[in-house]
Structure 1
């Protein structure tokens, strides 16, 4: 089953937001991206700081098969796949909308 892997947080100033959320949560920047903050104890979701992406949840699946199954399961619960999304060629995510139109992504963590 998917889990909340990250919360994407829209901010206007990455540096200011990074310092604030690091102090507020005790999170640390991940080695691969200073705008991805993680709990050093390994609990809780990551916080992704982004100036362009609107706020949403990233749900993590362990691999592509689980991602496909979870997308189907979520659609059966009332979500819809956002068909008009422009994906990069190597996308590891599928964009869905919940019944109220709130966007979220299902990420293939193995990609």
Structure 2
């Protein structure tokens, strides 16, 4: 069996951040999409933001007032509060490339 070698330009690789990230994940209980979003986000944070992030998980069924203040349009929803600019990402966060771009870790 042959192993395929990939050569990536360093600019294409996600950069580990030195900034502090403040993240809020809005979920709807233990629905499959919410569980996937939480699992995917935790994995991503441990690889790319280890020790440099805070994550608040908000179940809109239990904390509707917070959800109302944030003017949510769809769930699950990840809001990157810091570093600015604030970004919002909807879905189960399974597209790692898209999430890294949304967090500003990849161009």
Q: Which has the larger radius of gyration?
A: 2
> What TM-score do the two structures reach when normalised by structure 1?
0.26
TM-score by length of 2: 0.26
* Greater share of residues in helix: 2
